[in-house]
Amino acid sequence: MATGASGAIPFYRGRFAPSPSGPLHDGSLVAAMASYLDARAHGGKWLLRIEDIDTPRVVDGADHYIMQQLQTLGMHWDEPPVWQSERLSLYQAAFEQLKAGGHVYGCACTRRMLTGGPYPGTCRNGLGEGVQPRAWRLKVPPGRRSFIDRWQGPQSQDVATEVGDFILRRADGLWAYQFVVVVDDGLQEITDVVRGVDLLDSTARQQTLAELLGQVPPRVMHVPLIRDESGRKLSKQNHAPELDLSSPVRTLQRAWQALGFEPFPAADIDEFWRKAVPHWAARHGLGGAR
Ligand SMILES: [Zn+2]
């Protein structure tokens, strides 16, 4: 079906997927805001997924804290949130599907044996007698992958030579981020991923996985990151302070300006979003769709 005269696509599903390792800060709000605006400007759905698969980094209660932060800023999700920790059987099923297709293999390499460059494929042709796999890797098909990023422009990467066969299940038994993201985006029928540019170089890997799982990879847009005075990405690891919710409009305006927009007067959060959505639509050629 062609896009309508308003520029709205008939089917849009976006998501924000924070990891509950601490409260949202100004940096994570920029990514959340961009994905929220894009969903609203398309007249689509905005979903919330809690990426709590990396259990050692999960902070108790951070998930509900993040949800409260989003609500305070007027960012409401359209379907019940999902927690990755409750979806382990879905990841296992997707893994079995790849395994049955001959797309995964066990790897017995220790961290010490790997130099940090692309994985050289040491275990690709099987392990020696009695050798137990530590991790499981994807057998990456050869070839260069090209795609258009809606913010960053044309991109291309040869996953097989630049990254190598990457890990789906880690030596500690946890599913890898790259794998669960793709399984979830597929099952939740996500059409559009909008996130920070630090994840741009994950995209080709995720598209490779999506296709092997029989999915159509979502469109992508990678937005700029906020950096601190020393040029580092604002992150929980760098002890970025949590969002200041004493003045929600001011906090929203700061993220808005980080996305390259001019500030505008807004008396409250409702007015902020009412005015911000058409700005976003105009900037991204969505014809003023609401
Ligand atoms: Zn290996």
Instruction: Write out pLDDT tens, residues 137-179.
Output: 999 999 999 999 999 999 999 999 999 999 999 999 999 999 9
Report the separation in Å between the CA atom of 160 and the middle of ligand 1, taken as the mean of its atom positions. Answer: 15
Report the separation in Å between the CA atom of 140 and the middle of ligand 1, taken as the mean of its atom positions. Answer: 14
Residues whose Cβ atom is located within 5 A of ion ligand 1: 107, 109, 122-123
Report the separation in Å between the CA atom of 201 and the middle of ligand 1, taken as the mean of its atom positions. Answer: 22
Report the separation in Å between the CA atom of 90 and the middle of ligand 1, taken as the mean of its atom positions. Answer: 26
13, 42 contact by CB (below 8 A): no
Per-residue confidence (pLDDT) for residue 10, from 0 to 100: 62
Q: Which of 156, 231, 161 is nearest to 200 (CA)?
A: 156
Per-residue confidence (pLDDT) for residue 2, from 0 to 100: 41
Report the separation in Å between the CA atom of 108 and the middle of ligand 1, taken as the mean of its atom positions. Answer: 5
Encoded tokens for 112: 């010490």
Q: Is the pLDDT of residue 230 over 80?
A: no
Q: Is the pLDDT of residue 214 over 50?
A: yes
Report the separation in Å between the CA atom of 103 and the middle of ligand 1, taken as the mean of its atom positions. Answer: 15
Q: Is the pLDDT of residue 6 over 60?
A: no
| CA dist., res. 144 & res. 128, Å (int) | 31
Mean pLDDT over the full length of the chain: 92
Mean pLDDT of 107-136: 90
Report pTM: 0.92
Sorted by where each starts, the structural domains of the chain and their CATH numbers stand as 13-281 (3.40.50.620)
Per-residue confidence (pLDDT) for residue 287, from 0 to 100: 61
Report the separation in Å between the CA atom of 114 and the middle of ligand 1, taken as the mean of its atom positions. Answer: 8
Q: Is the pLDDT of residue 4 over 50?
A: no
Contacts 24+ apart (CB under 8 A), 141-148: 141/208, 141/212, 145/204, 145/207, 145/208, 147/203, 147/204, 147/207, 147/217, 147/220
Report the separation in Å between the CA atom of 43 and the middle of ligand 1, taken as the mean of its atom positions. Answer: 46
Residue 58 banded pLDDT, cuts 50, 70, 90:
very high
| CA dist., res. 106 & res. 127, Å (int) | 8
Encoded tokens for 273: 């979003």
Q: Is the pLDDT of residue 289 over 60?
A: no
Report the separation in Å between the CA atom of 267 and the middle of ligand 1, taken as the mean of its atom positions. Answer: 58
Report the separation in Å between the CA atom of 102 and the middle of ligand 1, taken as the mean of its atom positions. Answer: 16
Report the separation in Å between the CA atom of 237 and the middle of ligand 1, taken as the mean of its atom positions. Answer: 29
Report the separation in Å between the CA atom of 260 and the middle of ligand 1, taken as the mean of its atom positions. Answer: 44
